[in-house]
Amino acid sequence: MGKHLVMVGGGHAHMTVMVNLRDYIERGHRVTLIGPSAYHYYSGMGPGLLGGTYRPQDVRFHIKKMAEDRGAVFVQDTVARIELDKKILILASGGEIAYDVVSCNTGSTVPADEGAVAGDNIFTVKPIENLIKVRQIIQAGLGSRTPKLIVVGGGAAALELTGNLWRLVRQTGTEAAITVLGGRNFLASMPQKAQLYARKSLAARNIDIIAGAHVNRLTDSRAVMEDGAEFPFDLALLAWGIQPSRLFRESGLPTGADGGLLVNDYLQSVAYPEIFGGGDCINFEKKPLDKVGVYAVRQNPVLFHNLRAALEDRSLQAFQPQDVYLLIYNLGNHTGIFFRGNWVLKGRLIFYLKDYIDRKFMRKFQVSGETAEAAA
């Protein structure tokens, strides 16, 4: 007899399952996909969305249509809690959905609790939809002659956002002072050569880089650093780290130190064999994985296999994460930085390589006519 598979979040790790939903349904199973929006945005193209290289419809998947076209049910909601013993998902709206097997791909959020962040001119980089809002606000004008725009964060997301903020301002034909508050050690996770190139690229565009101290909190007009220094701003973008969704801790599931769902080699909860997960929301027991889309994407075929196997009591496949992976960053001036381990390349061709890879990924999974539909 068929069983009920529930997918929580239609993120990057669920793409293969979503494209192949008919495979589950033809075997007699029911599938439900739960997500807060009919769309899922590809974060790798988020900075390019901010900078106007891409339109919203270029970088999103119509996950509601993907599910419904293939015979699954889409529920627009978020899961607030899992009742583990009853195998029931409690929705934010108050509804309940029972499952036989559940797969979580709920991603991560940028911490921004009320004690640390106050102001409706402050936007976290996730959800990616925020970048559409920021683009609209800057295009409409911020009121002051040379608005102060800050990006808070010391990693690759902050770098890409800063470069693309520059691109956006240039398109508006106005002036703005752009500063990245890069934490104690800006871009420390990158090879030295990549750091130097990135800094040089920003500096050549008159973007200020402030590093050496963390930002502790933001009022609606000032970023307050741990050393007491303050930076005024008109608009702030936050990319100062991420945390997995709180769903797992709040449900009493075993989690890693970061609160991510603790999973074994099979991407399966270490305590509840009917619960699986992939992407930023998991903590891989064998070794914590970087929170990069590369892993979410690589987990696709394993989740596709294992969810079907769990529904049908068959054997599971192990996920084997690679140690070294390729990353390419979009610097906003149609140049990019590529690195794999300590191997670094940079320049315009690198940007076009990223553009090619990203568009290919979109074409592979944008199967429900999103671009055509939006253009119609």
Ligand X SMILES: Cc1cc2nc3c(=O)[nH]c(=O)nc-3n(C[C@H](O)[C@H](O)[C@H](O)COP(=O)(O)OP(=O)(O)OC[C@H]3O[C@@H](n4cnc5c(N)ncnc54)[C@H](O)[C@@H]3O)c2cc1C
Q: Does 163 bind ligand X (CB under 6 A)?
A: no
Per-residue string for binding with ligand X, 270-289, x by CB under 6 A?
A: ---------xxx--------
Which of 3, 64, 126, 346 binds ligand X (CB under 6 A)? It is 126
Per-residue string for binding with ligand X, 327-356, x by CB under 6 A?
A: x-----------------------------
- By CB atoms closer than 10 A (0-12, 13-18, 19+), residue 317 is middle
Q: Does 162 bind ligand X (CB under 6 A)?
A: no
67 to 86, contacts with ligand X by CB under 6 A?
Answer: 78-79
Residue type, 57: Q
Closest distance between ligand X and the C-beta of residue 229, in Å? 26
Which of 35, 163, 183, 336 binds ligand X (CB under 6 A)? It is 35
Q: Does 238 bind ligand X (CB under 6 A)?
A: no
Residue type, 349: L
Residue placing its CB nearer to ligand X in the complex, 245 or 283: 245
Closest distance between ligand X and the C-beta of residue 45, in Å? 8
Which of 8, 181, 235, 310 binds ligand X (CB under 6 A)? It is 8
Q: Are 125 and 280 in contact (CB under 8 A)?
A: no
Closest distance between ligand X and the C-beta of residue 313, in Å? 27
Q: Does 251 bind ligand X (CB under 6 A)?
A: no
CA-to-CA distance for 161 and 336, rounded, in angstroms? 13
CA-to-CA distance for 349 and 354, rounded, in angstroms? 9
Closest distance between ligand X and the C-beta of residue 249, in Å? 12
Residue placing its CB nearer to ligand X in the complex, 179 or 330: 330
220-245 burial string, b = 16+ CB within 10 Å, else e?
Answer: eebbebeeeeebebbbbbbbbebebb
Residue type, 84: L
- Before 127, cis peptide (omega within 30)? yes
Residue placing its CB nearer to ligand X in the complex, 32 or 245: 245
Residue placing its CB nearer to ligand X in the complex, 47 or 182: 47
**What helix, strand, coil percent values describe the chain, rounded to 5?**
35, 25, 40
Task: List, as one string, the DSSP characters of 112-175.
Answer: --TTTB--TTEEES-STHHHHHHHHHHHH--SSSS-EEEEE-SSHHHHHHHHHHHHHHHHHT--
- Which residues have CB under 8 Å from 10's CB, separation 6+? 18, 33, 35, 40, 61, 63, 66, 67, 105
Closest distance between ligand X and the C-beta of residue 308, in Å? 20
Residue placing its CB nearer to ligand X in the complex, 145 or 287: 287
Per-residue string for binding with ligand X, 286-305, x by CB under 6 A?
A: -----xxxx-x---------
Q: Which residue has the tokens 């990353």?
A: 327
Closest distance between ligand X and the C-beta of residue 306, in Å? 16
Residue placing its CB nearer to ligand X in the complex, 107 or 183: 107
Q: Does 125 bind ligand X (CB under 6 A)?
A: yes
Closest distance between ligand X and the C-beta of residue 86, in Å? 18
Q: Which residues pair with 15 in a beta bridge?
A: none
Which stretches within the chain are classed as H helix?
15-19, 21-26, 46-50, 63-69, 129-140, 156-172, 192-204, 247-251, 293-311, 348-365, 370-375
Q: Does 51 bind ligand X (CB under 6 A)?
A: no
Q: Which residue has the tokens 């002072």?
A: 177
Positions that interact with ligand X (CB under 6 A) = 8-13, 34-36, 40, 43-44, 46-47, 78-79, 105-108, 125-126, 157, 160, 245, 247, 279-281, 291-294, 296, 327
